Protein backbone atom coordinates (compact mmCIF):
# COMPACT_ATOMS: atom_id res chain seq x y z
CA UNK A 1 0.00 0.00 0.00
CA UNK A 2 1.29 3.42 -0.93
CA UNK A 3 1.55 5.92 1.90
CA UNK A 4 2.13 9.67 1.71
CA UNK A 5 5.77 9.39 2.83
CA UNK A 6 6.52 7.00 -0.05
CA UNK A 7 4.51 9.15 -2.46
CA UNK A 8 6.51 12.22 -1.42
CA UNK A 9 10.09 11.48 -0.45
CA UNK A 10 10.84 8.63 -2.84
CA UNK A 11 9.84 10.40 -6.09
CA UNK A 12 11.43 13.68 -4.98
CA UNK A 13 14.74 11.96 -4.29
CA UNK A 14 14.59 10.26 -7.65
CA UNK A 15 13.83 13.42 -9.65
CA UNK A 16 16.45 15.46 -7.77
CA UNK A 17 19.05 12.80 -8.51
CA UNK A 18 18.01 12.97 -12.16
CA UNK A 19 18.32 16.75 -12.08
CA UNK A 20 21.82 16.40 -10.68
CA UNK A 21 22.79 13.98 -13.47
CA UNK A 22 21.25 16.26 -16.11
CA UNK A 23 23.26 19.22 -14.81
CA UNK A 24 26.43 17.13 -14.80
CA UNK A 25 25.88 16.32 -18.47
CA UNK A 26 25.28 20.01 -19.13
CA UNK A 27 28.53 20.99 -17.46
CA UNK A 28 30.48 18.28 -19.30
CA UNK A 29 28.96 19.41 -22.60
CA UNK A 30 29.92 23.02 -21.93
CA UNK A 31 33.47 21.96 -21.13
CA UNK A 32 33.81 19.82 -24.27
CA UNK A 33 32.31 22.50 -26.53
CA UNK A 34 34.18 25.37 -24.80
CA UNK A 35 30.91 27.07 -23.91
CA UNK A 36 31.08 29.51 -21.02
CA UNK A 37 29.08 27.93 -18.18
CA UNK A 38 27.16 31.15 -17.59
CA UNK A 39 25.68 30.93 -21.07
CA UNK A 40 23.89 27.68 -20.18
CA UNK A 41 23.18 28.59 -16.57
CA UNK A 42 21.48 31.84 -17.54
CA UNK A 43 19.70 30.54 -20.63
CA UNK A 44 15.92 30.67 -20.70
CA UNK A 45 13.57 29.09 -23.23
CA UNK A 46 11.60 32.30 -23.66
CA UNK A 47 12.21 35.84 -22.37
CA UNK A 48 9.45 35.64 -19.73
CA UNK A 49 10.66 32.29 -18.36
CA UNK A 50 13.22 31.74 -15.62
CA UNK A 51 16.78 30.72 -16.53
CA UNK A 52 18.31 27.34 -15.75
CA UNK A 53 19.67 28.47 -12.37
CA UNK A 54 16.24 29.54 -11.16
CA UNK A 55 14.63 26.33 -12.43
CA UNK A 56 16.97 24.35 -10.17
CA UNK A 57 16.36 26.68 -7.24
CA UNK A 58 12.59 26.36 -7.55
CA UNK A 59 12.71 22.56 -7.94
CA UNK A 60 14.73 22.28 -4.73
CA UNK A 61 12.57 24.85 -2.92
CA UNK A 62 9.40 22.97 -3.84
CA UNK A 63 10.95 19.68 -2.73
CA UNK A 64 12.19 20.83 0.67
CA UNK A 65 9.11 22.97 1.29
CA UNK A 66 6.72 20.18 0.42
CA UNK A 67 8.47 17.62 2.57
CA UNK A 68 8.86 20.01 5.51
CA UNK A 69 5.22 21.08 5.49
CA UNK A 70 3.93 17.53 5.23
CA UNK A 71 6.33 16.29 7.94
CA UNK A 72 5.61 19.26 10.21
CA UNK A 73 9.23 20.46 10.39
CA UNK A 74 10.92 23.75 9.68
CA UNK A 75 11.68 24.45 6.03
CA UNK A 76 15.42 24.84 5.42
CA UNK A 77 16.29 28.30 4.12
CA UNK A 78 18.57 28.75 1.12
CA UNK A 79 19.89 32.11 -0.09
CA UNK A 80 19.41 31.62 -3.87
CA UNK A 81 22.93 32.85 -4.63
CA UNK A 82 24.07 30.00 -6.88
CA UNK A 83 25.93 31.02 -10.04
CA UNK A 84 27.82 27.84 -11.01
CA UNK A 85 27.12 24.22 -11.78
CA UNK A 86 29.05 23.29 -8.66
CA UNK A 87 26.89 25.51 -6.46
CA UNK A 88 23.70 24.10 -8.01
CA UNK A 89 24.97 20.56 -7.38
CA UNK A 90 25.64 21.52 -3.75
CA UNK A 91 22.09 22.88 -3.45
CA UNK A 92 20.63 19.64 -4.79
CA UNK A 93 22.86 17.60 -2.45
CA UNK A 94 21.77 19.75 0.50
CA UNK A 95 18.13 19.19 -0.42
CA UNK A 96 18.64 15.43 -0.76
CA UNK A 97 20.38 15.39 2.62
CA UNK A 98 17.39 17.19 4.15
CA UNK A 99 15.00 14.61 2.64
CA UNK A 100 17.04 11.91 4.39
CA UNK A 101 16.32 13.52 7.78
CA UNK A 102 12.56 12.95 7.71
CA UNK A 103 10.93 9.70 8.70
CA UNK A 104 7.73 8.01 7.67
CA UNK A 105 6.43 8.52 11.23
CA UNK A 106 6.59 12.30 10.74
CA UNK A 107 4.12 11.95 7.86
CA UNK A 108 1.43 10.33 10.02
CA UNK A 109 -1.91 11.95 9.11
CA UNK A 110 -0.15 14.21 6.58
CA UNK A 111 -2.82 13.37 3.98
CA UNK A 112 -5.42 15.32 5.93
CA UNK A 113 -3.17 18.04 7.37
CA UNK A 114 -4.31 21.59 6.62
CA UNK A 115 -1.64 23.40 4.63
CA UNK A 116 -1.72 27.04 3.61
CA UNK A 117 0.84 28.63 1.35
CA UNK A 118 1.01 32.20 0.09
CA UNK A 119 1.54 32.55 -3.64
CA UNK A 120 1.76 36.06 -5.08
CA UNK A 121 0.01 37.50 -2.01
CA UNK A 122 -2.84 34.99 -2.23
CA UNK A 123 -3.36 32.28 0.38
CA UNK A 124 -3.87 28.84 -1.08
CA UNK A 125 -5.41 26.20 1.17
CA UNK A 126 -4.87 22.47 0.76
CA UNK A 127 -5.27 19.19 2.54
CA UNK A 128 -1.93 17.39 2.64
CA UNK A 129 -2.63 14.86 -0.09
CA UNK A 130 -3.93 17.51 -2.47
CA UNK A 131 -0.97 19.75 -1.65
CA UNK A 132 1.38 16.94 -2.66
CA UNK A 133 -0.50 15.74 -5.74
CA UNK A 134 -1.69 19.06 -7.15
CA UNK A 135 1.00 21.51 -6.05
CA UNK A 136 4.34 20.01 -4.98
CA UNK A 137 4.88 17.19 -7.46
CA UNK A 138 3.58 19.07 -10.53
CA UNK A 139 5.76 22.07 -9.70
CA UNK A 140 8.89 20.01 -9.12
CA UNK A 141 8.38 18.04 -12.34
CA UNK A 142 7.66 21.24 -14.29
CA UNK A 143 10.89 22.92 -13.18
CA UNK A 144 13.05 19.81 -13.63
CA UNK A 145 11.53 19.31 -17.09
CA UNK A 146 12.24 22.93 -17.95
CA UNK A 147 15.86 22.56 -16.79
CA UNK A 148 16.12 19.44 -18.97
CA UNK A 149 14.60 21.31 -21.93
CA UNK A 150 16.96 24.27 -21.56
CA UNK A 151 19.97 21.99 -21.73
CA UNK A 152 18.51 19.82 -24.49
CA UNK A 153 17.67 22.92 -26.54
CA UNK A 154 21.31 23.97 -26.26
CA UNK A 155 22.59 20.68 -27.64
CA UNK A 156 23.22 18.59 -24.54
CA UNK A 157 22.58 14.97 -25.45
CA UNK A 158 19.80 14.02 -23.09
CA UNK A 159 17.02 11.49 -23.44
CA UNK A 160 14.03 10.25 -21.53
CA UNK A 161 16.17 7.86 -19.42
CA UNK A 162 18.13 10.91 -18.14
CA UNK A 163 14.89 12.45 -16.89
CA UNK A 164 13.46 9.24 -15.45
CA UNK A 165 16.69 8.32 -13.67
CA UNK A 166 17.17 5.11 -11.78
CA UNK A 167 15.02 3.36 -9.21
CA UNK A 168 16.82 4.29 -6.00
Per-residue pLDDT of the chain (168 residues; tens, 9 = 90+): 679 999 999 999 999 999 999 999 999 999 999 999 999 999 999 999 999 999 999 999 999 999 999 999 999 999 999 999 999 999 999 999 999 999 999 999 999 999 999 999 999 999 999 999 999 999 999 999 999 999 999 999 999 999 998 755
User: What predicted TM-score, i.e. pTM, was given to this entire model?
Assistant: 0.95
How many Cβ atoms from other residues are within 10 Å of residue 25's Cβ? 16
Q: For 23-157, which CATH superfamily applies?
A: dinb family like domain (1.20.120.450)
Q: Which helix (H) or strand (E) holds 122?
A: strand 122-127
* Closest alpha carbon to 3 in 92, 102, 85, 86: 102
User: How far is the C-alpha of 134 from the C-alpha of 103, rounded, in Å?
Assistant: 22
User: What's the CA angle centered on 92, arms 62 and 158, to 5 degrees?
Assistant: 95
- Give phi and psi for 153, each to the nearest 5: -60, -30
pLDDT value, residue 167? 57
pLDDT value, residue 83? 98
pLDDT value, residue 117? 95
Amino acid sequence: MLNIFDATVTPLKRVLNSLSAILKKGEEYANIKNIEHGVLLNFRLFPDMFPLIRQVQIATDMSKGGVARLAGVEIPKYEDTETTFEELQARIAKTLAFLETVSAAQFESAETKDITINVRKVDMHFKGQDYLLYWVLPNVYFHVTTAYNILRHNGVELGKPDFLGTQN
